[in-house]
């Protein structure tokens, strides 16, 4: 099990996370094209996370700070076989930093399905949705996709529109089966770092 180098001073309302390290969880999958901007975003994932967490820990909501800290304090463990994450999930978006310290949205529906040599991941409900592919790389799954809005009748795909493009890393929380986080570093709009929390539906 690989622990993240993340330390939280989140005791009795104290704040101030410190995060460091290189992006060893997800790398660039062989043969898959990314723009230069998105390669850089993947490489800066830990920096993006650190900036987002530092801002999120300034939130006035102790419950939000505690929730956000809990997603990272146990570290990540290898996903193993990509087939292990296939299924339906409840998922929620957590925006760290940017326009405000933190925003925790309600639960919506997500699903991960097999697709040839990769997996698809799809947020199927809510006003802000996304669709993309997950590729084995490192100990996690590298995500390449795009966002769209619930009122739009068609998906956006990676490369269709640069401002909609997303890249990230899907990781498994250590010791918590069926509990995943998809991190989206340096989103174009609103926040410093986005996290999609996923919990498997039994």
Summarised one tens digit per residue, pLDDT across range 149-170 is 889 888 889 999 999 999 999 9
Classify strands 165-173 and 76-77 as parallel, antiparallel or unpaired.
antiparallel
Q: What tens digit of pLDDT does each residue of 55-79 get? A: 999 999 999 999 999 999 999 999 9
Q: What is the pTM of this model?
A: 0.88
Q: What is the pLDDT of residue 23?
A: 55
Cβ–Cβ under 8 Å, residues 172 and 165: no
Alpha helices in the chain (DSSP H): 36-43, 45-56, 62-70
Measure the CA–CA gap between 153 and 173, rounded to whole angstroms.
34
Question: Domains in the chain, start-ordered, CATH in brackets?
Answer: 1-202 (2.40.128)
């Amino acid at each position: 099990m690989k622990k993240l180098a993340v330390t939280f001073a989140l005791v009795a309302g104290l704040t101030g996370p410190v995060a460091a390290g290189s992006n060893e969880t997800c790398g660039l999958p062989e043969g898959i094209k990314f723009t230069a901007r998105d390669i850089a975003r993947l490489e800066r994932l830990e920096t993006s996370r650190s900036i987002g967490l530092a801002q999120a820990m300034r939130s006035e909501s102790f419950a939000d700070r505690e929730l956000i800290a809990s997603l990272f304090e146990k570290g990540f463990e290898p996903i193993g076989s990509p087939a292990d994450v296939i299924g339906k999930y409840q998922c929620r978006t957590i925006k760290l930093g940017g326009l405000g310290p933190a925003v925790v949205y309600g639960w919506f529906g997500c699903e991960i399905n097999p697709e040839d040599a990769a997996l698809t991941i799809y947020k199927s409900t809510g006003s802000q949705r996304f669709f993309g592919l997950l590729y084995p790389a490192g100990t996690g799954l590298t995500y390449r996709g795009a966002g769209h809005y619930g009122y739009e009748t068609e998906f956006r795909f990676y490369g269709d529109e640069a401002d909609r493009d997303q890249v990230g890393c899907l990781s498994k929380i250590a010791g918590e089966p069926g509990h995943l986080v998809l991190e989206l570093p340096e989103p174009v709009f609103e926040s410093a770092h986005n996290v999609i929390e996923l919990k498997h539906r039994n």
